[in-house]
Chains A and B, each alone.
Chain A
Amino acid sequence: MKNAILIPVAAAFSISLCQCKKATEIAADSPPSDTADLRQDPLYQADLPLLAPQIGDVWKYHVTVLNPKDARTGQPVRAEFERTRTYIGEISVGDDSFQAFEVQSGTSPIVRELVHITDDRILIAGQGRRGPNGETLQPVLLEKPVPFFNAGLHGGEGSPVTVFADDESLWRSTRAIGRETLTVPAGTFTQAVRLQMLGQDQEISLQRTYWFAPGCGILKEDTLRESKGVTLFRETQELTELPASLRNRMDPAPAMPATSP
């Protein structure tokens, strides 16, 4: 008789587990691939390859962080430091492999950014910390990689909202504002794409504006974190030095803008 009670329970739970697995698979589906029309677009062709870094390439940034109200003093706090982003090639985390960058900000522990880079697409896959033996500690892998940049992106285009939690409290969406000329300490880039990533992490909202130059990488980032309408911090980083291997993709424009008459 005991079996008679356990059988329906076991059956029901096995059905629900199957459904869970199915839901995960649906969420992990990649968006439909670009059409042939996009591949014929001159802008798309000009953007290729989006990023072809070599192991050891280093991007250097000047970072400014502003905390409008320090928790201890109640006064605004401003900090400036250098950040480096170093490409370390392909690494394995668990059963998956990723291309990785190591990000060193001041004296903070080194963070590994895990991405998927193809000729025409860059996806953010997760992050972790570099361990003492070169391993990746505490990796946080996204169930579905978030689009960071696609070749041929025009102003007004955006990617679908990526949701990480059933209650919609964790999500990201990316949209392209447009292409423009941007001058940073590393030089002037005439095909910089201004993008915005909006998102939510529980009660903390994210608004990140970043400029990406195809072939060169991230030129500038302005990140704003808020909680219930109150600014937690604001961080701005600007590229000060581009890896030598990528300077051939840089525009021949001068480092400083020409003075207007």
Chain B
Amino acid sequence: MVTAGEAADASPPNFPDQRPAESIYDPAGLLGAPARTRLAENLRKLRDTGVLDMVVVLLPASLQNDPVEVATELANRWGDSDGRAVILYLHGQPQSPWIAITGRIRNTIPSDFLDAIALKARQQGSRAIDPEMAVVDAVDTLANEIRLLQGQSRGGKIVEVEKRVPFSAKENLLFLAKKLPLFAAFALALIALLAAICAALWRAIRWLKLSGPLRFPGLICESRLGAPHGASAFSAKPKASRTSPP
């Protein structure tokens, strides 16, 4: 067993020029013999059927260089098919595995799709609890997605990468559109409920007004021209000041 501390201190290995036997490069023996046999058989089938030419690399050490760059370099060095990939697993690195897809497949399938597929396979592999499951899950996910794309393209269908949650914005809008009558009905119900509450309040206020204590109406005083009490206010004033000058 290799610990994470040992992995961090190790120096990068010198990779062979020749493609490794059974498409698996595992110098430290991280894979058990039965797991190696199963994986090799799976890789052989995927290569023979033209799905993807994959090489799995397992290392007990971290790398000085960017793992994606290393994986890409190895894919170009060892691969001889139109579609080739390297799954690079570094023991003790939680981000493992790294995946590079190269070759003419990049001309036939848009890079965005391939990158999304590689990311999905990497996420699947990184959740595994041991190296065997990590690489098996990554290989399976990668192969499934590529086979799905190949099948879709053969069937003349629109090629679409399956998302984690397969809902597009258009589907969401369609979903909302289907629910529109339901929303309208609930809005109508809400308006009716508010109207009923308003009507009840109005009736309650009126009832309160009518059932209040009886009293005489207040006195209203209105000034009237010519009335006796208004005499002082409107009586004719002496016009001494208005006399014309001598």
Contacts and interface: CB of A to CB of B under 8 A. Distances in A.
B205 interface: no
Interface in A132-183: 154-157, 161, 163, 166, 168, 171, 173, 175-178, 180
Interface string B132-161: 000000001000100111111111010000
Interface residues of A, number: 43
A76 interface: yes
Contacts of A226: 127
A231 B129 contact: yes
Interface string B21-35: 000000000000000
A5 B199 contact: yes
A11 B195 CA distance: 13
B192 A8 contact: yes
Contacts of B148: 155-156, 175, 177-178
B151 A9 contact: no
B245 interface: no
Contacts of B195: 8
Contacts of A23: 178-179, 181-182
Nearest to A68: B129
A180 B147 CA distance: 11
B196 interface: yes
A198 B124 CA distance: 14
Nearest to B186: A16
Nearest to B41: A257
B38 to A, nearest CB: 11
Contact of A11 (B127, B149, B181, B192): B192
Contacts of B166: 161, 173, 198
Find the residue from A9, A12, A68, A173 having the highest chain B CB count within 10 A. Answer: A12
Contacts of B109: none
Find the residue from A11, A16, A154, A178 having the highest chain B CB count within 10 A. Answer: A16
Interface of B: 45, 123, 127-129, 140, 144, 147-155, 157, 162, 165-167, 171, 175, 178-179, 181-182, 184-186, 188-193, 195-196, 199-200, 203
Sorted nearest first, the 7 A-B pairs with minimum C-beta distance are A156-B151, A155-B151, A12-B189, A156-B152, A12-B192, A19-B185, A8-B192
